[in-house]
């Protein structure tokens, strides 16, 4: 599923606070649906350097079934002041 603004906005810009709130609301609402709850993974590629294939601003959501092991994925990472991720030694 894609979340896109009605008017063109470049994907190279960061998402706005209202867009982040809407993306969070979609994730939260999907997980709490009364008859068909879904675990979604949402992501935003901020331009070509981040892997964006489209220039029109969009969030992407995918159904991850039993859930994405995000905690496992990031457990081996540490965050440095420069914003660069490094594996734990």
Q: What is the pLDDT of residue 24?
A: 93
In the beta sheet, which residues pair with residue 70? none
- In the numeric block, which tokens belong to residue 66? 């039993």
Q: What is the pLDDT of residue 89?
A: 53
Q: What is the pLDDT of residue 88?
A: 56
In the beta sheet, which residues pair with residue 62? 41
Q: What is the pLDDT of residue 20?
A: 92
Assign residue 83 a region (left: φ > 0; alpha: ψ between -120 and 50; beta: otherwise). left
Q: What is the pLDDT of residue 86?
A: 55
Could you read off the pLDDT tens digit of each residue along the chain, which spans 89 residues? 889 889 999 888 888 899 999 999 999 999 899 998 888 888 888 766 776 677 888 899 998 887 777 777 777 777 666 655 555 55
| CB distance 4 to 57 below 8 Å | yes
* Separation of alpha carbons 4 and 54, rounded Å: 11
Which residue has tokens 């990472």? 77
């Amino acid at each position: 599923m894609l979340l896109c603004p009605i008017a063109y906005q470049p994907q190279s810009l960061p998402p706005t606070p209202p867009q982040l709130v809407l993306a969070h609301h979609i994730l939260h609402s999907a997980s709490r649906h009364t008859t068909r709850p879904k675990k979604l993974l949402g992501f935003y590629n901020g331009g070509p350097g981040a892997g964006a294939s489209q220039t029109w601003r969009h969030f992407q959501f995918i159904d991850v079934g039993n859930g994405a092991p995000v905690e496992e994925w990031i457990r081996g990472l540490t965050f440095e002041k420069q914003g660069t991720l490094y594996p734990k030694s």
